[in-house]
Chains A and B, each alone.
Chain A
Amino acid sequence: MATFTPTVPAQRPATSRGDRNNLPPIPGGGDDGRPDFGSPDHAVRLRRARLGLAIALTPILMLFVSFTSAYVVRQGLPTLDPATNKVVRDWSPIPLPNTLFLINTLLLVASSVTVELARRRIAQRVALEPVETIPGVSLGNEKEFPWLGLTIVLGIGFLTGQFLAWRDLAARGFFVATGPSSSFVYLLTGVHAIHLLGGILALLVAGTTVILHRRLESRHIVVDVTAWYWHFMALLWIYILTLMELAR
């Protein structure tokens, strides 16, 4: 093949196999003419971080999908009762601390709103940053409302509420090992709480970058990505609560 001699005059210059393989580089290229990835371009970094987050949420989703499947399967399993020697179902629904869960849900939904406001505010500031560098232009030195701080407080409030819910369950005699339904309640709320704690840590990181005088743009990326993560956690909590309340 290496010493190919064309027997007919070549109709067109051939350097490639197939038409689609000899495209000019830019249209349909890897980044579709978007700015170079090597550049510290803010939009590129933001897009990449958001893509990374969307991908990172997939395994979290899979974690809870498999918990759910275990929940459904375990609920329907029969077991032998050694006392009566009969096959019974050992799943008995436990009384959930509904008032506490309702308050917690409200706290988490409220924090989702505040984190969204923080996200939009910082996006605005990044967009307006070039304007502020123009000599003589000032956008005013108004005090920023600490939406981020409020979100952290609400998040800690939610976790405290969850802790109180566990205390409440324990006080009424429902522990992790009491029965399959109580195991799952502790499991689902516990794993969700750990994930939310991660979100709080990320918000704290965003907060410390203010103190460290990191660039506003870097802070924007942390806040933006954490906000989306936070919304996901709120949705996930609503899903978990629905599962625990409806599939009892």
Chain B
Amino acid sequence: MVAQESHGHAAPQGFIRKYVFSLDHKVIGLQYYFLALTAVFVGMFLSLLMRIHLVWPGASIPLIGEIKPETYLSLLTMHGTIMVFFVLTTAPQGGFGNYFLPIQIGAPDMAFPVLNMLSFWTTFVAYLVMLSAFFVVGGAPLHGWTGYAPLSALQSAGPGEGLGADLWITSIAIFCIASLMGALNFITTTLDMRAKGMTLMRMPLTCWSWFITAILGLLAFGVLLSAGILLLMDRNMGTSFFLPLGTINGVLTGHKGGSPLLWQHLFWFFGHPEVYIAILPGMGVASQVLSTFSRKPIFGYKAMVYAMLAIGLLGFMVWGHHMFMSGMSPYTAFAFSVMTMAIGVPSAIKTFNWLGTLWGARIRFQSPMLFAIGFVSLFVSGGLSGPFLAQPVLDIQLHDTYFVPAHFHLIMGVAAIFGIFAATYYWFPKMFGRMMNESLARWHFWFSFIGTYAIFMPMHYLGMAGQPRRYSQGTELAYLKPLLPLQKFITYAAIVTIAGQLIFLFNLLWSLRNGKKAPDNPWEATTLEWTTTTPPPHDNFGGHTPVVYHGPYEYAVPGAPRDYVMQTDPATVVAH
């Protein structure tokens, strides 16, 4: 908690202080980014195994063997958990947020550098604990990323629900603490460390998105932590918070009186804001990139800020829409339904503002821009199925079918991933001093964009046809047989799309050493990170602190000598 003076003295010299236990927000940002990069490949590998099992259930996979139904449940649990926590929460906020929030507001570092370092290493420990669940007796848990009780609350509920599930909950609890430390740092930094002239309404929209995400995390992760503590007590100390009277194989469990719905309420009070934690930074990056490559100011800057605040606020009032099938009162369901559809309003404001930014622009179709447009496309496609699921009557039909994975993968999974890709291509030159290969990036974009739609669009049809999610062997059921060709198509598409990600991995690693040297401001952008050298020095601005005179998206300003005005440009230019 003690305010640090890490930048009062010279940069650290030893390898360990410089790259491992570094206090520098830039190094910590990269650590988060590479943690997420390993996690995303683990998560993707698990999804590949699932896709193969779904269409060829008897297939024997090298080193793994045949996938049993309970193994399938472990795979989907770990896929969801790793992707949501260690990729979608970690990379956009912990990675890019850590690296660029201080630079974009003109600060030399985060407010509490030691806390920042602890936050990363705590996340790292959580990640190791999570992965260790694969290797214990019984394997990884079966209860899905939502951990519904009673399956998650009983040691004997199934293989993987023993030590594996304990490790899973412990990992989530550690992750909560790490995220809270991170959120504390983000909020303090944004409120207290902005450079002179950097008013709140001059912050780039990326900073706004990280700030709002941090507030959501601050309010949500404490609730998940409390739920995790109660769950651990139910599992190991004999309490009955979430466990009603029940039997396993005819034997009484010894618990009584608890309510599985209590878990669902606590979990989703966290879980719904969590999906905005994943997507908001993507919205920020998309706004930043769309404006830069359209060479136009973002359409309706203030509306964008207020829309994000509204999304964040409404996000806390809609958790019940995950529970329409839980037997809740129709009046409660109606209230949650109305609140949920109200989120469509700020979301539409954002979408139309993005389109308004693109309208009539002389667009530079470079790789960050392609991914930002891809983000908007996926946000719309995934978002449009939201109002369907938000209606209790339709949700009765669609709940727990493939329609739901189709919806949330498009809007929260892949859209957020496209935000991460856009951010990677956009900021790679600043972070590593080299450009990424543009042709490889384009190949990567088209593989990912077409591949994503090929995977997730057909899932809507599977859902409407009644294919239930989380079932391991659809091939056994007569009424699902006609859907098998579509399932096979999705699996082929997934294999091709995952192969396409190797292009990205190669481009990233290859460009680190062999990319073209990057100038300080390759995209002719206006925000503060482009005023400093590439890569930025230890204290970000080489001994001076920037002074800000302009808003963040001053493109095509009448009378200015260039088509963009840097935030730090003091010069008053007279037209004529």
Contact = CB atoms under 8 A, between A and B. Distances in A.
Interface stretch (B251-259, B374-382, B443-451): B251-259
A37 B108 contact: yes
B193 interface: yes
Interface stretch (B46-54, B229-237, B341-349): B229-237
B64 interface: no
Interface string A1-15: 110101001100111
A140 interface: no
A21 B196 contact: no
Interface of B: 1-3, 5, 7-8, 105-108, 111-112, 180, 183-185, 187-188, 191-199, 201-202, 218-219, 221-223, 225-227, 229-230, 233, 237-241, 244-245, 252, 256-259, 262, 265-266, 269, 295-297, 361-362, 539, 545, 547-551, 554-560, 563, 565, 569, 571-576
Contacts of A33: 196
Interface in A70-93: 70, 73-74, 77, 79-80, 82, 90-91
A21 B240 contact: no
Contacts of A9: 576
B362 A2 contact: yes
Contacts of A183: 233, 239-241
A30 B563 contact: no
A1 B563 contact: yes
Contact of A10 (B107, B183, B265, B575): B575
Given A37-B108, A202-B1, A1 B225 contact: no
B258 A58 contact: no
A61 B222 CA distance: 8
B233 A30 contact: no
A125 interface: no
20 contacts: A1-B556, A2-B556, A2-B563, A4-B556, A6-B575, A14-B559, A16-B550, A21-B551, A22-B549, A31-B194, A48-B111, A52-B1, A55-B188, A59-B222, A62-B222, A62-B226, A90-B256, A177-B237, A187-B229, A221-B2
Nearest to A10: B575
A15 B571 contact: yes
A209 B244 CA distance: 51
Contacts of A52: 1, 111-112, 184-185, 188
A6 B3 contact: no
B558 A6 contact: yes
Interface in A5-56: 6, 9-10, 13-18, 20-26, 28-31, 33, 36-38, 40, 44-49, 51-53, 55-56
Contacts of A51: 188, 191-192
Give the dominant DSSP class at B's interface: loop
Given A30-B198, A37-B107, A90-B256, A222 B1 contact: yes
Contacts of B240: 177, 180, 183
A63 interface: yes
A160 interface: no
A67 interface: yes
B106 A30 contact: yes
B233 A176 contact: yes
A2 B363 CA distance: 12
B257 A79 contact: yes
A55 B197 CA distance: 24
Contacts of A63: 222-223, 225-226
Nearest to B238: A177
A222 to B, nearest CB: 6
A20 B201 contact: yes
Contacts of A25: 196-197, 547-549
Contacts of B557: 14-17
A107 interface: no
A63 B176 CA distance: 11
Most chain A C-beta atoms within 10 Å of own C-beta, residue among B222, B237, B571: B222
Contacts of A49: 1-3
Contacts of B257: 74, 77, 79, 90-91, 180
Contact-size category for A: 35 or more
9 closest Cβ pairs, A-B complex: A30-B194, A177-B238, A25-B197, A62-B222, A1-B556, A59-B222, A45-B3, A79-B257, A2-B563
A221 B551 contact: no
Nearest to B192: A48
B192 A47 contact: yes
A6 B574 CA distance: 12
Given A13-B573, A48-B188, A18 B551 contact: yes
A208 to B, nearest CB: 13
Nearest to A78: B257
A183 B554 CA distance: 59
Contact of A187 (B111, B112, B225, B233): B233
B239 to A, nearest CB: 4
A218 interface: yes
A17 B222 CA distance: 41
A14 B106 contact: no
B208 to A, nearest CB: 14
Given A6-B559, A55-B218, A26 B1 contact: no
Contacts of A24: 197, 549
Given A59-B183, A79-B244, 11 more contacts: A15-B550, A15-B573, A18-B551, A22-B550, A38-B7, A38-B545, A48-B3, A55-B218, A69-B266, A73-B262, A180-B257
B115 to A, nearest CB: 8
Nearest to B252: A82
Contact of A225 (B1, B5, B565, B573): B1
A33 B239 CA distance: 55
A138 interface: no
Interface in A121-163: none
A99 interface: no
Given A29-B198, A191-B229, A79 B245 contact: yes
A73 B240 CA distance: 13
A31 B196 contact: yes
B8 A40 contact: yes
A24 B229 CA distance: 51
B327 to A, nearest CB: 14
